[in-house]
Chain A
Amino acid sequence: MSLVSFVKVRKNAPESIRSSILESLDLVGYRFSKEVKNVVIKPNLCYYWDRSTGQTTDPDFIASLVSLLRQRISPNVDVSIVESDASAMKCKHVFKMLGYEKLSRDQNVRLVNLSEDDYSPLKVTVDGHVFTIMVPETIRKAELKINVPKIKYMRDPMFLTCALKNVYGCNPYARKSKLHADIERAIVGLNKAMGFNLCIVDGISVSGTQPRMLGLVMASEDPVAVDVAAARIAGLNPSRIKYIKVAASEGLGSSSFVEKGSPMRYFSARYPKRTVRDKVMSTAYRLMTLTRMSRRIGLE
């Protein structure tokens, strides 16, 4: 059974974040190999929303992780932070706007726009459906791949974005919405193709119905277990999130796990969850958008 650790961050300061990351890895028994020469870190960068929104990985969290890697692996370990262009987001702007260019200068790490990287095709089968995934060279060559997602709500039908969904951002195609018709299986296909080794969740701030400081670092080698835990923290039923079920059936991880560290319910109680009213309002708004009623009455 997989292990998932939950660690409270005592203070939102570099040393405290670093020690919390280390504690979360110790709790799941993860040790960095000294043999690793290059590492890829995939934060969650979404549109141009900064860390205060709880929607994007805090560059200070990544800085703490990089400093830990340099201490535990080697001071010379090559670190790349990767993201790709999306329909409405360009890496050249988002790296600058959200503080990643500064992080790159301060910590001597590379920023890689996967949309501009070389890539090679890889066929993967998910639930009987064959996808041809373009695997960027930076990811293919990395000896250690660390996924650093956020815990946040998404529009239906996915409900949640955390570890598995964050890897969707490794798809080098900017027009990601093209895969949205089969997004659940596409998420699983991308996770199979990219092969991330480790997941460390930046849950210091989260985005539920509103942003909130949750003070959580969560770690596991199992992305499915991480997403199941994240769903429970966010008040969602993981068995109703299709891509988690598909990922488990495809062998990407296990839906059951052993909690390590602080109790998960401590964080679940503090997550800004959707209320019944929120659900009714979002359903009503979606219906109005679908029927174009919202435009007719001037809400758009």
Chain B
Amino acid sequence: MKKIGLGIVGLGYIGNLHLRHSLKVPDARLVAVADMSKKALARARETGVKKLFTNYEDLLKDPEVDAVVIALPTHLHLDCALRAAEAGKHVLLEKPIAKNLEEAKQIVIAARRNSIKLMIGYPLRFNSLFRDIKEKIQSGTLGDVEVAYSTFISSGPFLHRAEGHTPIPVPEWWFHAESTGGGALIDLGSHLINLTRWYFGEVTDIKSHLRHRFNLESEDGAVCLAKFKSGALAVINVGWFSQSYKLAIEVFGSVSNAYAEHTSSNPIMTVAQALTTGTTKLHWPHLAELQHFVHCLSNDLNPSPSGEEGLKDLQAITQAYKNQFSLI
């Protein structure tokens, strides 16, 4: 079987994660990468990738590239996704699909018109712990789900990172709502909205309370209450305000409840956990996500979460921004 030729556009934190994982997908070969930073390209060269572009338009012209992973800032999704679709390249687009609904619709329409496969990057769907909850909901083990409590609290874009002894600056686009489409709600909330939609069906109503601890243009915290087609309620609690990291969901059903928490995965910690608790947690959601995308391309299947699902997530988020509630 012919291997899928992959291109990666954007070599920031997530782009680099995709780059490392793309080398581990047996049915794919990394053909090219594109980034404006020559330093980022030089690092990519060390992994063995041969074609390095400072302009993604050149990467999209490459006939060896069958599909692209777009890991650009949100405000650049539209242009790159449209050009990729027009060039006939399949797309794995990082969440959120776009900074607003109008752009998201354009991306979905372009994908349909050009008959390319469009998948939105939501790695939680590929985390075994969160998949277990889906399985429990579907199998009825939990009974009827009444309420879920989901949390994604972290530093968001303000996570302090360093290269050697030199701290890495927060990219400027994160400070501007025009580029991001919003704050913690669209950035982190999109993961939880997608996850809860997957569990409970479409959002029928949603309200939000936004918080501004750091006086940013956009919210740095949000608590949302969402109701779903299944009748379940979910609290969606997101924030960029903490130095600690927590990404978890607890689902309460009429029979039982279930809890899943995302933690960073590495072999040493997994072995330590296996020895102390008898359970293992080794999972690489971004790798599984990329494997699923490549598998769908190789077998002419539709990848999930699709562009349409990304659009529905953004519709729910947009509704949450509109339906704000205040507290005295």
Contact = CB atoms under 8 A, between A and B. Distances in A.
A10 interface: no
A96 B266 contact: no
Nearest to B155: A48
A34 B54 CA distance: 60
Contacts of A297: 266-268
Interface in B92-144: none
A298 B165 contact: no
A208 B75 CA distance: 39
A298 B266 contact: yes
Contact of B214 (A53, A89, A97, A180): A97
Given A49-B243, A97-B215, A101-B215, A88 B265 contact: no
B229 to A, nearest CB: 38
Interface residues of A, number: 22
Interface string A85-98: 01111100100111
B169 interface: yes
A99 B167 contact: no
Interface string B268-284: 10000000000000000
Nearest to B168: A88
Q: Is the interface of A mostly helix, strand, loop or mixed?
A: loop
Contact of A87 (B169, B175, B264, B265): B169
Contact of B167 (A87, A101, A298, A299): A87
Contacts of A93: 170, 175
Contacts of A16: none
Contacts of A86: 167
B267 A47 contact: no
B170 A87 contact: no
B91 to A, nearest CB: 27
A14 B208 CA distance: 34
Interface in B233-250: 243
A299 B267 CA distance: 9
Interface residues of B, number: 20
A250 interface: no
Nearest to B216: A97
Contacts, number: 50
Contacts of A88: 160, 162, 167-170
B214 A50 contact: yes
Contacts of B198: none
Contacts of B268: 297, 299
A48 B174 CA distance: 13
B166 interface: yes
B266 to A, nearest CB: 3
A177 interface: yes
A175 B170 CA distance: 15
B158 interface: yes
A106 to B, nearest CB: 14
A180 B165 contact: yes
A128 B308 CA distance: 68
A297 B282 CA distance: 12
Contacts of A89: 167, 169
A101 B215 CA distance: 10
Interface in A282-300: 297-299
B265 A90 contact: no
B165 A177 contact: yes
B167 to A, nearest CB: 3
Contacts of A49: 243
Interface in A36-91: 47-50, 53, 86-90
Nearest to B172: A90
Contact of A298 (B158, B170, B243, B267): B267
Interface of A: 47-50, 53, 86-90, 93, 96-99, 101-102, 177, 180, 297-299
8 contacts: A49-B243, A50-B214, A53-B243, A88-B167, A90-B169, A101-B215, A297-B267, A299-B264
Which 5 interchain pairs have the tightest Cβ spacing? A298-B266, A88-B167, A97-B214, A88-B169, A177-B166
Given A89-B167, A180-B165, A297-B266, 16 more contacts: A47-B160, A49-B243, A50-B213, A88-B162, A90-B169, A93-B170, A96-B215, A97-B215, A98-B214, A99-B215, A102-B215, A177-B165, A177-B167, A297-B267, A298-B266, A299-B268
